[in-house]
Amino acid sequence: MTLVMAPAGFGKSTLIAEWIHKQPHSYGWISLDERDNDLVRFMEYLIAALRTIQPGLCDSVLQYIQETRDFSAETAMTLLMNEVQAQSREIVVVLDDYHAICEPSIHHGLAFLLAYLPRNMHVVIASRSEPPLPLSAMLARRQLIRISANDLRFTIQEIRELFRLTIDEPLTEEELSRLGHRTEGWIAGFSCRKKNVRAKENDIVAYPFTQQRPEQLEGDIVDYLTEEVLSRPTPDVQQFLLKTAVLERMNESLCNHIIQKESGKTLHEAVQSGLFLIPLDRDRM
């Protein structure tokens, strides 16, 4: 399995799409959302993705889940694996936006699939948060490749190349440095606007790809974060973010003192939710 895990706007889906079109194997792609938290629906989508690779593949599995409805995830996955393993070709299945899934039966079924994954099948998961799957065991067995936000951050050289390809006038080293520092390599941070314009006003260098003043552009980023990040966590996590927003660094005891909560679970939830929090020690807290 390959797990690509990073917060919103780091180019996870783009990376997978670029890779998948350059490799020779057949693939199926599932884009998930909150409405897919139903085991029957998830299995139907998974089978539909496999059918784009081989028409008629897993017909018996589809018949089983539609007739049984209240079926065992392990039984359905076993039937699916048997049909996939009978194929002579290599098969890649992409589960995009897996963070939208919270149904335990789906996690259980996918964990079972991964535990007995056919040799000719490769599962790629894109997620903003760490999925509740046996990742440590897979790492120990060398069955997992992890790609994180740190792997996806743009370097100064990559930012330079991006703007060389998208604007007429290259950036100065000072502008590159400032852009890299302010966005920390976050692609969405410098892709809200792409115009071949360099704007300077009051001796403040605006982002070179926009006619807007810096505060206007940052308003676009705030809108993006509000829609794609801050509106999605649970109310408890939202309250945690509101009360701890004054901190640049935090640990469990400091957060508990500020939010006056005895449990440190909220900090853990925030870290696991892909909310641009960076663990600084081996305890990931």
pLDDT tens-digit series, residues 27-40:
999 999 999 999 99
On the question of pLDDT at 162 being above 70, the answer is yes
Question: What token pair was written down for 81?
Answer: 């694996």
**pLDDT at residue 201 in the model:** 38
**pLDDT at residue 225 in the model:** 79
**pLDDT at residue 183 in the model:** 80
Contact predicate 61/80, CB 8 Å: yes
Residue 67 has a CB neighbour count (10 Å cut-off) of 8
On the question of pLDDT at 69 being above 70, the answer is yes
User: Taking residues 199-218, what's their average pLDDT?
Assistant: 43
**In whole angstroms, what is the distance from residue 30 CA to residue 116 CA?**
21
**pLDDT at residue 113 in the model:** 96
**pLDDT at residue 198 in the model:** 43
More confident residue, 119 or 193: 119
Question: What token pair was written down for 107?
Answer: 């996690």
On the question of pLDDT at 122 being above 90, the answer is yes
pTM: 0.79
**DSSP strand pairing (200-201 vs 204-205):** antiparallel
Using pLDDT thresholds of 50, 70 and 90, give the confidence band for residue 217.
Answer: low
**pLDDT at residue 210 in the model:** 42
On the question of pLDDT at 213 being above 80, the answer is no
**DSSP strand pairing (121-127 vs 2-5):** parallel
More confident residue, 185 or 85: 85
